[in-house]
Copies of this chain bind each other. A is one copy, B any other.
Amino acid sequence: MKANLPETQLEAWRKYYVSFWRVFAAIEADLAAASLPSLSWYDALYQLYLAPERRLRMSALAQGALLSRSGLTRLVDKLEKEKLIERQACPADGRVQHAQLTAKGVELLRKIWPVYRTGIAKYFAPHVSDAEAKEIAAVFGRIVSAAETAAGGAE
């Protein structure tokens, strides 16, 4: 927690911060232009897609989808209404709900991904060499790990 922050680090932070918002906004705009839902839907569905049996407890999904628990409840409401997922009560623990990805959910994921991928390929990838990409993955991987252990959840 060094309070002194060298100018180099600060400049890196600023570029990181600004670039993220720009790229994020550009990708969201492309998705909206293609009449597709926003990245938060994608993130949630994709987390489920990755999960064993394509299902996850609400709180795990909230973690993975970068949302608060209440935010996730609302998102899951909408996804469920669209039949993209199903809520399943847990027989072993009455407090727990699982979100289960449906076939329709997978299908939407497959519709979103090409547009998302193209966005990454347009706004991000062209400016990042292969070597830089490896370094970025390493650096930001460390940041993610640190943030997640700090937040208490190993997950």
Contacts and interface: CB of A to CB of B under 8 A. Distances in A.
Interface of A: 1-6, 8-23, 25-26, 66, 117-118, 120-128, 130, 132-137, 139-144, 146-148, 150-151
Contact of A147 (B23, B147, B148): B23
A66 B18 contact: yes
18 contacts: A1-B122, A1-B126, A2-B121, A5-B121, A9-B120, A9-B121, A9-B125, A9-B128, A12-B137, A16-B16, A16-B140, A18-B140, A22-B66, A22-B148, A123-B143, A127-B139, A127-B142, A136-B136
Contacts of A143: 15, 19, 22-23, 123-124, 127-128
B120 A10 contact: yes
Contacts of A130: 6, 8-9
* 5 A-B pairs with the lowest CB-CB distances in the bound complex, closest first: A22-B147, A15-B140, A12-B133, A19-B140, A12-B136
Nearest to A132: B139
Given A6-B130, A66-B18, A1 B121 contact: yes
Contacts of A25: 66
